[in-house]
Structure 1
Amino acid sequence: MTSPRPETVDEPAEPTAPHRRAPVWRGQGPVVAVVAVGGAAGASARYGAALLWPARTGGFPWTTFWVNVLGCFVIGVLMVLVTEVWAPHRLVRPFFGTGVLGGFTTFSTYAVDIRGLIGEGHPLTALAYLAATLFAALAAVWAAVALTRRVAGRRSAGQVPS
């Protein structure tokens, strides 16, 4: 015995025209391009900072520390500006946020520095660097968001007007 057929059946609609793909330039092409250009600029700036202020072997990696803290501060400013203050062109956020600041800040160098410090017999310096970078980067983002909102005349959602 067969089961009765339901009264409504979801059948695929017949396509009226073949699906056309949007040209790359109208799709994700420009986003990929600006992220690549921004990333090259950010990574070059970080590399330049490392050349100007090289880390001492076994010492605290101050250059990478300050690059990451500064980058996190600027990310906090940028995110408030592009999400709460003005509506930028669609490529501004990928260029500056993902590209420039993503290339400038560096989790990989941070991890390599920690591993190197441990391998060179400086576990306490490695632990201090690990913790200090984490807390300073988070504090930098928080401070940047609060400062930018204050300067821009915005208040966070949970803040009570005074």
Structure 2
Amino acid sequence: MKTLAFIAVFAIFGAIARYLQALVVAHVVGGPFPWDILSINLLGSFAMGFLFFETLERISISPELRTGLLTGFLGAYTTFSTYTFGAVGLIEHGAWILGMSYLLGSVVLGLAATTFGAWLSRSISGG
């Protein structure tokens, strides 16, 4: 029950962070390309790679808190369900190249961000 409470509370903050970042990025960058969703996915991928190893190998926190952070906060923050929605919007408006670039770029850059987060976490202590 404690784990579910951590997930629920952190999910609230993850959803709020996602919403606020989307507003800011859309306002700053604008345009038809879903930069807001891409920035959320990349930052979330980096955070997942970094925090997963930090909380597994270096920072001692309770399993409930770890699950709250990784599943609750990041799960609500980085849901990829909007990933395809952004691509569909581009494709429906005839921007096939942008749509496909967005799909491929999200996957490739997301993998790179996760790998970089994991690498950075492990290199901090010289591990």
* TM-score after normalising by structure 1: 0.72
- Tell me which amino acid in the other structure corresponds to 2:88: R
Q: How many residues align?
A: 125
2:114 to 141, 152, 159: 141
* Structure 2 partner of 1:32: 4
Identity score, percent: 34
Amino acid at match of 1:64: I
- Asked if the contact 2:22–2:40 (Cα under 8 Å) also holds between the matched residues in 1, the reply is no
1:3-41 deviation per Cα after TM superposition (whole angstroms, max 9, x unaligned): xxxxxxxxxxxxxxxxxxxxxxxxxx1111111111111
Structure whose alpha-carbon radius of gyration is higher: 1
Amino acid at match of 2:63: R
- Alpha-carbon RMSD: 1.4
What code does the residue aligned with 1:52 have?
Answer: V
Name the residue aligned to 1:111: 84
Partner of 1:20: none
4+ long deviations beyond 6 Å = none
Q: State how far apart, in whole Å, the 1-side matches of 2:92 and 2:47 are.
A: 32
Structure 1: segments with no counterpart, 5+ residues: 1-28, 155-162
For residues 135 and 40 of structure 1, what CA distance do their matches in structure 2 show? 28
Paired residue secondary structure (1:53): helix
- Partner in structure 1 of residue 18 of structure 2: 46
Name the aligned partner's letter for residue 75 of structure 1. M
Amino acid at match of 1:110: Y
Distance 2:114 2:22 in 1: 22
Query: Unpaired segments of 5 or more residues in structure 2?
Result: none
Q: Distance in 1 between matches of 2:75 and 2:112?
A: 18
Question: What is the rounded CA distance, in whole Å, between the counterparts of 2:59 and 2:16 in structure 1?
Answer: 28
* Aligned equivalent of 2:73, options 95, 100, 111: 100
